[in-house]
Amino acid sequence: MHIAIAGNIGVGKTTLCKMLSKNYKWTPLYESVDNNPYLDNFYEDMQRWSFNLQVFFLNSRFRQVQDIAKSKKTIIQDRTIYEDAYIFAPNLQAMGLMTLRDYENYLDLFKLMESFVSPPDLLIYLRSDIPSLVEKIQSRGREYEEGIRIDYLKRLNERYEAFFANYKHNHLIIQANEIDFQNNKSDFGLIIEKIDSNLSGLFK
């Protein structure tokens, strides 16, 4: 089974992925951040490095999806291949941070990969407002994230909302800025209840 977590930068995807993998004994697959050779460059000069960064993430997540398809384990994935193509890349192009030529090239590559990809059995969307995202980004103190623009986060949020408004597969929306699942056991328990209810419906 394939579970995935989607959401904006700083919303808590990796934290929730770790907590759910521990609770359910699922195998976690994390986003390639620490070994990403483009992240620092991207936040210093988004226009120059946007295409390189997106291709790196696309390749990384396609490999993850291939591994998931081969695995007999239940795997929980931190961010999906769909977010790269339907949220981050078009947002960069719309903001003038990726050329139309690069974006079309990227999209052609994604469409080829998408033909080999199945959607997750459950996609969990962590939704949050911008002030909460900014607070969390600042609190985790990643140097390369210090230059993230507010308008960049806002546009990503808008694209996430549009994506999930049209997403036809099984998904669950969690209002992350209204709960503290990391430090409050009852809040985490509410998420567990929602997941259990959703997954039980898959096997009826």
Q: Hey, which residues are catalytic here?
A: 78
Residues 6+ positions from 26 with CB-CB distance below 8 Å: 3, 20, 73, 74, 75, 76
Is residue 79 within 8 A of residue 31, CB to CB? The reply is yes
The DSSP bridge partners found for residue 7 are 126
**In the numeric block, which tokens belong to residue 81?**
């291949």
Q: Which two tokens stand for residue 130?
A: 């911008």
